Structure 1
């Protein structure tokens, strides 16, 4: 019988890790790659039956995920973030897939949720993420938005998983700041150029128009407007940081 390892990258996720692991009890192994959490993430994960391996991420998501693949003991890999949950129908679909389709990789639809608000368009519209694949020959590249590299043909699964995006605005803007910095550094390392007019003035305006009007953020009311404006500033901020990395190594 084919076996499945769920790989969860975590750092200070004590508020998420229990429910995350609980949603993948069908797996043969739950492997938590812990970036030296200072809270009870590792303790809770071990109490839930997970195997915890501590390993420093150092800002490199792709390398951390590849490390997780190397540590996994099963035939199949299922990547899951600590704030994501596998639905019961998806769990059953995965169990059937790993037995009957050994040489394919799978995209899973991710539906975003808040605990007390609702938004399903614009920046929070459902997307597909490549998360389920045979372990053999698979690895991950990239710092901020890593790409999973796998030699297998891909298909989409029918049932969704759920992503509980943010608990509060403090968490949201911490991630906002972190990701804009990492994106700017990635652009610099890849030798990109930056135009003040094109990238700092025009590009953010188009980003707002796209998510608010073309992708339906306007249908999500107050939250849709807030998230679309934040997407404008996210886009502008990462290019502002990039512009000044090139101009003065980030110094003002």
Structure 2
């Protein structure tokens, strides 16, 4: 019977790691790749029966995920972020498809939740993420918003997992700052240029309209407006940082 390794990348996730691991006890191995946390993440994960390897991410999320796949002991891998939870119905479905052992890459519907705030459209609308697949010949590329690369056909699972996006506004804005920095560095590495009018003035406006109007963020009321506005600034800031990466003589942000 095929077996599953759950892969969790973590750094200072002591508030999340225990609840996360509880939802994947149905898998055969739980492997936490810890980016040298300074809190109790490592010890808490080990107390829950997880195997922990400490490995520096150095801003390369895709590289860290590839490292995790390479260290999995089972034939199948299930990726899970520390702020995500597998529902009981999804756990049963995952076991069923792995027992059938069809060589496919399975996408999971993720429902996003921001504490007690009610928002189910715009940037927090449900999305599908590629998380369950055979480890053989699979890897991940990209610093931020990485892409999982597998030779297997894609299929969607029916049941859902939950994503608890942020605990506080500070956390949300800190993530925005970090992700815009990584995105700018990625763009520069690829030689992508930045046009002030198109990328800094007009592209953020389109990003706002897309999540607020097309993705129906307006249905979430005040929260929809706030999150769409934050998405505007996310888009603008990654291009502002790219713009000045080319203009700073030391290439600093």
Shorter-chain TM range is over 0.9
The 1-side partners of 2:199 and 2:70 are apart by 39
Tell me what 1:172 maps to. 172
**Partner residue in 2 for 1:228:** 228
> What is the aligned residue count?
252
Partner of residue 153, structure 1: 153
Q: Give the Cα separation in 2 of the matches to 1:122 and 1:229.
A: 11
How does the TM-score come out when normalised to structure 1? 0.98
Q: 2:115 and 2:202 mapped to 1: Cα distance?
A: 34
Aligned mates of 2:132, 2:231 — CA distance in 1: 29
Question: How big is the alpha-carbon RMSD for the aligned residues of Structure 1 and Structure 2?
Answer: 1.0
Contact 1:102/1:134, CA 8 A, preserved across alignment? no
Partner of 1:247: 247
- Offset of 1:251 from its aligned partner? 5.8
Deviations along 1:12-50, one digit per CA (max 9) or x if unpaired, are 000000000001010100000000000000010001110
Partner of 1:57: 57
Cα distance, 1:246 vs structure 2: 1.2
Q: Which residue of 2 aligns with 1:69?
A: 69
Aligned-partner Cα distance in 1 for 2:119–2:64: 31
**For 1:224 and 1:55, how far apart are their aligned partners in 2?**
37
Paired residue for 1:212?
Answer: 212
Partner of 2:123: 123
CA contact (8 A) 2:140 2:149 kept: yes
Structure 1's unaligned 5+ residue stretches are none
Q: In the aligned structure 2, how far is the partner of 1:125 from the partner of 1:101?
A: 31
- Distance in 1 (alpha carbons) for counterparts of 2:252 and 2:5: 44
**1:163 matched to 2:158:** no
Structure 2 portions without partners, runs of 5+: none
Poorly superposed stretches of 4+, deviation over 4 Å: 249-252
